Amino acid sequence: MMLSLKVPLRDAERARRALVDSSLLDRDYVVDKDKQHIFFPLTREPPANFMESSWSVVEHPHNKLAGSECRGLKFPAMDIVGTIAIIEGSEEEARKIAPLIVKCIPSVETVLRKAGPMEGQFRTRKFFHVFGKETMETVYKENGVRISLDVSKTYFSPRLSTERARIAALVRKGENVAVLFGGVAPFALVIAKKCPSCNIISVELNEDAHSYAVKNIELNKFTNVKALHMDVKELKRADKYKGWADRIIMPLPKDVVSFLDVAAYMARPGATLHIYIFASSPKEALSLLATKLDELNVGWEHMGTRECGNYSPTTSRYVVDIKLL
């Protein structure tokens, strides 16, 4: 028996990432699960502020990882999206570590290597296939929903899983929620799961991402989500959505300021905006948004700013929560 973090299956990926980030996951042992929970082997007792209400530390038997090459092996930083592991580095390094990733991480069937930075209007990235099943398509499970996507044709970040759960927890019954730049609809799906009485639209211009959004709504059998294939700017021509939204989510950190007029058009009085933006500090993030909102002659109140990812050594991704007055 050893210390183990017991979490509901719906929280598995979020808990795994948090454990890895905090160096709490004991990689020498096999992750275990039953019908309702997953058990992560721990290196030590987690601090109190790490835990969530549905998580608990228990004594649980964990088997040692099979194969001596897995014991104590330290993998490079990677993103795991469903059955796909995405790594960086040289081709030589990737081909050396990829077979071990597939062998030692049971959920991984494919290893891809980043071929360069995200490019173009839709923030997509090219990959090299390194090892395992030759595919760019997978199904990722998060917060109780399934998300189908092609990692080379759509933008998706598993690192925002905690943020998506945070937003979903804030949504109240019966809200109208608009997700602009919605991609394959991860925000919309997580909110729909949490709030069946909400009406949600997910707006996306990338045709591939929109197709996956439609597929994901059907995959999860949601009837309270609608995927719209259109330019966000076109929403200002839609009388139906003028003053419609109680909550607007804008996960386009690079160019989001230029779309604040759309949010102002769609928002009801008292609506909440969750705006993602690249900046060098929380102060700069708020300042960039404040300047534009004041130009639009919109009354607003700052509710909080959180850092939720790095873009470069000097730039982070922030989410600024704002209430319109």
pLDDT in tens, 218-259: 999 999 999 999 999 999 999 999 999 999 999 999 899 999
- Domain total of the chain: 3
For residue 54, what are the domain limits? 2-60
In terms of domains, do 97 and 163 share one?
Answer: no
pLDDT per residue as tens digits for the range 119-169: 999 999 999 999 999 999 999 999 999 999 999 999 999 999 999 999 999
In terms of domains, do 317 and 236 share one?
Answer: yes
3-state secondary structure of 231: coil
In terms of domains, do 127 and 216 share one?
Answer: no
Q: Is residue 65 part of a domain?
A: no
Q: In what order do the strands lie in the sheet with 245-250?
A: 225-229, 199-204, 176-180, 245-250, 267-279, 315-324, 300-312
Determine the Cα–Cα distance for residues 90 and 76; give it in Å rounded to an integer.
12
Across the chain, what does the average pLDDT equal? 93
In terms of domains, do 101 and 225 share one?
Answer: no
In terms of domains, do 237 and 286 share one?
Answer: yes
In terms of domains, do 95 and 164 share one?
Answer: no
From the list 36, 76, 40, the residue with the least C-alpha distance to 58 is 40
CA distances from 50 to 54, 56, 62, 325 (A): 12, 11, 22, 35
Q: Is residue 208 part of a domain?
A: yes
Q: Is residue 146 part of a domain?
A: no
Per-residue pLDDT, 67: 57
Packing angle between helix 186-194 and helix 207-219, nearest 10 degrees? 20
Angle value at C-alpha 146, between 234 and 233, nearest 5 degrees: 10
Q: In what order do the strands lie in the sheet with 84-87?
A: 78-81, 84-87, 110-114, 127-132
pLDDT mean over 104-113: 92
In terms of domains, do 83 and 196 share one?
Answer: no
Q: Tell me the CATH number at 37.
A: 3.30.70.2580
Q: Is residue 150 part of a domain?
A: no
pLDDT per residue as tens digits for the range 185-200: 999 999 999 999 999 9
In terms of domains, do 48 and 162 share one?
Answer: no
Q: Is residue 142 part of a domain?
A: no
Q: Tell me the CATH number at 281.
A: 3.40.50.150
> Which amino acid belongs to residue 15?
A
pTM of the model: 0.80
Q: Tell me the CATH number at 88.
A: 3.30.300.110
Name the CA dihedral angle for 118, 25, 104, 69, rounded to a multiple of 10 degrees. 120
In terms of domains, do 99 and 223 share one?
Answer: no
